[in-house]
Amino acid sequence: MYEMLPGRRPPDFPPGLPSDAVVAYAFLQAKVQFKMPYFDSEEPVDFRDASGSTTKIRTFGVRHKDRSSKFELRTQMSVLFVGKRGPSSGFEPAEFAVDLCRRCNPVQVVFARVNPGETLATTLDDLQRKIDQGPPSSHKSGNLEHNDILLVPDMHWRIAHDFESLMKGTIENRAMAGFPMVVARQDLHFRLDRSGANLESQSRHIALCAPLVLKPSGPFLVYMKKRRAARPFFVMWVANAELLRRHWKS
């Protein structure tokens, strides 16, 4: 771990493990450096969780005050698909998916608002079908148009999880059949933020049209995968604000 993840402290396991003990440990640290930094939003977004409670959270992206400007930044991300929207919803679609950095390789970061399926796998499959259909004609290039808004939840957290259900049984693999599972642990470190210094770009005046507003106002999905891979290596369904960074105005 010192070689692969400098500065990361190896995990501590219980002392005096028996000679036939099996330890299963996994660590995932995923980080992508955007080619251009987004902007931190000064205004909070009301995140309404699955139970109906509302929390003011921190976000970053292309803000309301960035309309008709930040054209280089608008081409960094890619609109993958957009569901139905209209004036009654404040031009905010109920469903959408965005690739936050189309030029970042080999890892892709996708932020999406979608209706959940029965399982995380069925949710991903349904999302991929919608992405395969492509964005609407107004966003065929994938770019945010000059009047559009994109706000992404700001997250930075570490979680250590012990899989107690696995630790109560024995291994069925032939090579280790009957051995007790003493430790089954996973450490996760995930950060999603604007990533970098402020960006200066050109500003112009263009007549406004109906904007596309993409923001985390309810449960959402974040996943990371290698481009052209069939399945992501990290998937997170966010139904409450426990791991979201609170806004100071809350």
The 3-state DSSP class for residue 234 equals strand
Give the closest residue to 140 by CA, choosing from 98, 85, 72, 79: 79
- Look up residue 146 and give its amino acid: H
| Phi then psi dihedrals of residue 32, to 5 deg | -125, 130
Which H or E run includes 73?
A: helix 71-74
Domains of the chain: 22-238 (2.30.39)
Two structure tokens written together for 68: 């008709």
Q: How far apart are CA 248 and CA 42, in angstroms?
A: 9
Q: How far apart are CA 9 and CA 146, in angstroms?
A: 45
Q: How far apart are CA 189 and CA 8, in angstroms?
A: 11
| 250 residues of the chain, pLDDT tens digit each | 777 777 777 777 777 777 777 777 777 766 788 888 899 999 999 999 999 999 999 999 998 888 877 888 889 999 999 988 755 556 788 899 999 999 888 889 999 999 999 999 999 999 999 999 988 888 888 888 888 999 999 988 888 777 777 777 777 777 777 777 777 777 777 888 887 222 222 222 223 345 688 888 999 999 989 888 889 988 999 999 998 888 876 5
| Amino acid 155: pLDDT | 87
Quick count: other Cβ atoms within 10 Å of Cβ 170? 11
| Amino acid 44: pLDDT | 92
Q: How far apart are CA 9 and CA 11, in angstroms?
A: 6
CA distances from 192 to 60, 94, 154, 180 (A): 9, 22, 6, 37
Angle at 199 between CA 201 and CA 101, to 5 degrees: 100
